[in-house]
Structure 1
Amino acid sequence: MNNALLDNAPFVSVAITFFTAQLLKPFINAIFERKFVWHMLFSTGGMPSSHTAGVIALVTSIALTEGIGTVDFAIAATFAAVVIHDAMGIRRAAGKQAEVINEWSRILSDIHKEGQFTPENLKTMLGHSFSQVFGGFLLGLIIGLSATYQIMGH
């Protein structure tokens, strides 16, 4: 049987990291918010940032397997920078805008109590705070290092 995919340290590192980050979200939320929310297993936003964790695991594993002077590393590092910037910037701003729109929707709903206006809440947890990105960074680094060393046999 060909184990090429399972021998691919960057792929395995990213897969383990994404799974672990998503698995941790409802438990970390329960600690800080005193509420366990199951749907966080499958949602964006929250601690740790699975996007950041995944791209950092990818960069870390490529650095270890291919070296930092390679085109693969340059591509992965650039990709990571874009993903992290997006998570903290654009998607976070969109989440804040959704909060405002949701509040306006509640106000309009109160004004039109006879049912002419039906609010639909927009998802507000789209992006990440610095601490969520930092948590994802650490998780990606740790899993990227450990999974790559395990696969490479070090």
Structure 2
Amino acid sequence: MTILDNTPLLVALLAIGFAQILKIPIHYLATRTWQWSLLTSTGGMPSSHSAAVTSLATAVAFETSLDSPIFAVALMFAIIVMYDASGVRFEAGKHATLLNELRKDFDTLTKQINNWSSLNAREKQEELKTLLGHKRSEVVAGAISGIIFAATFYYLA
């Protein structure tokens, strides 16, 4: 068996792509702006992490049954990843937002005090990434899209 014959792995990888592509029209419907950078970004609706792990667990269930130990591992992995995506990583994103605001305030202060004019534009504007995690609704939407994606793959195959 080669890695390309590993259907659960392929389904999980394809589910990531599917979720990333879905982010663009969903963002457009919410904001009326196209944001193509969502194809490669973290965070947003739906969660590609959730889509990946739930499609993996669903594919493992199709391959091995719901009572197999490998399905139990895949399910626990999915639960932990989704909990982390909606908990720790989401909170880290909120902290990054606050730190960026504090940094802007501090930069304004130091602009008047130090050699602000000698810094280049990149040094003045570099910010922490704030879209790290997911809201619970994004995790749920990602999970549902992953399960549907994997189930559809197995029913059509």
C-alpha root-mean-square deviation of aligned residues, in Å? 1.8
Q: Name the residue aligned to 1:32.
A: 30
Distance 1:100 1:30 in 2: 26
CA contact (8 A) 1:87 1:127 kept: yes
2:107 is aligned with 1:109 = yes
The aligned counterpart of 1:88 is 86
SS at match of 1:106: helix
Preserved contact between residue 98 and residue 122 of structure 1 (Cα < 8 Å): yes
Query: How far did residue 148 of structure 1 move?
Result: 2.0
What letter matches 1:77 in structure 2? Answer: L
Deviation at 1:9, TM superposition (A): 2.7
TM normalised by structure 2 equals: 0.87
Residue 20 of structure 1 aligns to a residue whose secondary structure is helix
The TM-score normalised by the length of structure 1 is: 0.89
Deviation (angstroms), 1:128: 0.3
Q: For 1:116-131, what aligned pairs fall within 5 Å after superposition?
A: 118-131=124-137
Unaligned runs of 5+ in 2: none
1:142 aligns to 2:148 (yes or no): yes
Q: Which runs of 5+ in 1 are unaligned?
A: none
> 1:53-95: per-residue Cα shift (whole Å, max 9, x none)?
0100011111111011111101101110110011001100100
The one-letter code sitting in structure 1 at the alignment partner of 2:134 is: H
SS in 1 for 2:44: coil
Counterparts of 1:70-81 in structure 2 under 5 Å? 70-81=68-79
- Calculate percent identity across the aligned residue pairs: 38
Stretch moving more, 27-36 or 73-82? 27-36
In the TM superposition, what is the alpha-carbon distance from 1:150 to its structure 2 partner? 2.9
CA distance in 2, matches of 1:118, 1:13: 43
Equivalent pairs counted in the alignment come to 149
